Amino acid sequence: MNAPALPASPFPLEPSAADAQAAIRDEFAFFSDWSERYQYLIDLGRKLPDLPEACKTEEHRLLGCQSMVWIVVDGDADRLSFHAISDSAIVSGLIYLALRVYSGRSATEIVATSADYIADIGLAKHLSPTRSNGLAALLAFIREQAQRRL
């Protein structure tokens, strides 16, 4: 059976993971309060291309998230692309930010890049414990996939 065709990835948007994190910091600095930032996260999540139904299986489900999250990896050590979606609007926004930093990058760059944007924009303080755990699981999965290809 052939793997389903994945939608075209919008990532990377910036030339490096560091540039992506700087852009995220700048965008979130524009908003004065967290209700605006949450709305922005939801809007970002809506920009994620949906995954084909054939990818929304247990095999592609990210464990450690309270919401349903499916993630598919494509590529090799030179360029890893991640395709992911959630049934939760805010979680889809968190996925968008992580993919913006890491998707379309080399395994070496992924492993060398810590997710500083999370603390820089104050996200860590404004997520519920279950969302924080889910975000940690997503970032660990991305790092593990990159590590495997090195």
Closest CA to 44 of 63, 27, 60, 62: 27
* Catalytic residue status for 55: no
Number of Cβ within 10 Å of residue 128's Cβ equals: 10
In sequence order, which ranges of the chain are alpha helices (DSSP H)? 17-29, 34-46, 89-102, 107-112, 117-120, 123-126, 129-149
Active-site annotation holder among 55, 62, 65, 110? 65
| 70 sits in which H/E element | strand 69-76
Catalytic residues: 65
